[in-house]
Amino acid sequence: MTMDNAYRLSRRRFLAMAGAGAAAAFAPARAATNTRVATLDWAILETLLAIGANVVAGTELLQFRDVAVSPAIPAGVADLGLRGTPNFEMLYASKPDLIFNSNFYAWANDRMRLIAPVESHAIYQQGSSPYQLSEQATLAIGERLGLAASRALVDTMREKLEAYRVQFSKCDHRPILPINLGDARHFRVFGSDSMFGEVLTHTGLTNAWPDLTSYSATAPVGIERLASMPDAWIVLIPPHPVEAVMELQQSEFWNALPPVREGRVLKLGSINPYGALPAAERFADLLAGGLSHAWNG
């Protein structure tokens, strides 16, 4: 081999290596957007769907569609069954590149790590703000997957809540009582430290329930407690048992409550009570729509 041929060969090899290096430098960003991801947690599932991640598996998808409603789940996503007893064989068959988990399902981490790497994000944690943790999780997941939509979701939510703050500042300034019916005689209420309660705070509304509820909702309390909050807007958040709603409509006590008599009861669509930013957005939108209709109706 002549020196000239050797030079041309080495130059070709150098250019090939340089091209491969350049391709490798851009590969993670492209690959990240196509990373096959799975999760057991609904709050993380709705976050992944909202930012356009390539979700291949989740849990209780039929119920998710009924309770969380949005974001929509693509038809090809595999249903892993119950959150408490997921089908690990189905998870393996889904071939995820990465599994996102939460502290609620940490017990499954060791088994899932046999299938794919696991990354955990806590959204509901004692003494912490679920809204703030949702923002942090959204940004972290988006950065991990190379999805700029995560930042857009966080920014859009902040802008939307501020817009609702301005809108609600012109309202009647009554406190809001977000509840979910257990039966005709009991309800769960979402305190100021719940996701729904934090949306109220961010939009300048007052939660009528005076106590914290450990970042979620109280254990069922008696319907008679509603009599102690006569000035509130009662906001019903499904799903409710059908028979409970029917019984309440016939209840003398319920119909005698000032909020009921005066038309201060809002019936929203179903929302995931343990959701992340998408659930917070759905609650804010439905609440704003309901209040606007009531004030202007």
Task: Please list the pLDDT of the chain residue by residue as tens digits (297 residues).
Answer: 444 444 333 444 433 333 433 333 333 333 345 899 999 999 999 999 999 999 999 999 999 999 999 999 999 999 999 999 999 999 999 999 999 999 999 999 999 999 999 999 999 988 899 999 999 999 999 999 999 999 999 999 999 999 999 999 988 889 999 999 988 899 999 998 899 999 999 999 999 998 877 766 677 889 999 999 999 999 999 988 888 888 998 999 999 999 999 999 999 999 999 999 999 999 999 999 999 888 775
**Helix/strand/coil for 210:** coil
Tokens of 133: 């943790």
190 and 271 fall within a common domain: yes
263 and 185 fall within a common domain: yes
The angle subtended at Cα 65 by Cα 70 and Cα 145, nearest 5°, is 55
Is residue 173 in a domain?
A: yes
84 and 183 fall within a common domain: no
178 and 84 fall within a common domain: no
61 and 162 fall within a common domain: no
Is residue 21 in a domain?
A: no
Is residue 164 in a domain?
A: yes
Query: Which residues contact residue 135 at a Cβ distance below 8 angstroms, ignoring those fewer than 6 apart?
Result: 154, 157, 277
Is residue 131 in a domain?
A: no
292 and 168 fall within a common domain: yes
CATH number of the domain encompassing residue 204: 3.40.50.1980
Tokens of 43: 């709050």
Is residue 11 in a domain?
A: no
48 and 114 fall within a common domain: yes
99 and 196 fall within a common domain: no
Domain count, the chain: 2
Q: Count of CB atoms within 10 A of residue 153's CB? A: 24
Q: Count of CB atoms within 10 A of residue 28's CB? A: 11
Residue 77: which domain range?
A: 33-121
Place of tokens 């319907």: 223
Place of tokens 């509304």: 205
Is residue 187 in a domain?
A: yes
**Helix/strand/coil for 135:** helix
91 and 175 fall within a common domain: no
User: Cβ distance 33 to 147 under 8 Å?
Assistant: yes
116 and 180 fall within a common domain: no
Q: Count of CB atoms within 10 A of residue 123's CB? A: 28
**Helix/strand/coil for 207:** strand
292 and 164 fall within a common domain: yes
Tokens of 171: 């309202």
166 and 275 fall within a common domain: yes
* pTM of the predicted structure, to 2 decimals: 0.86
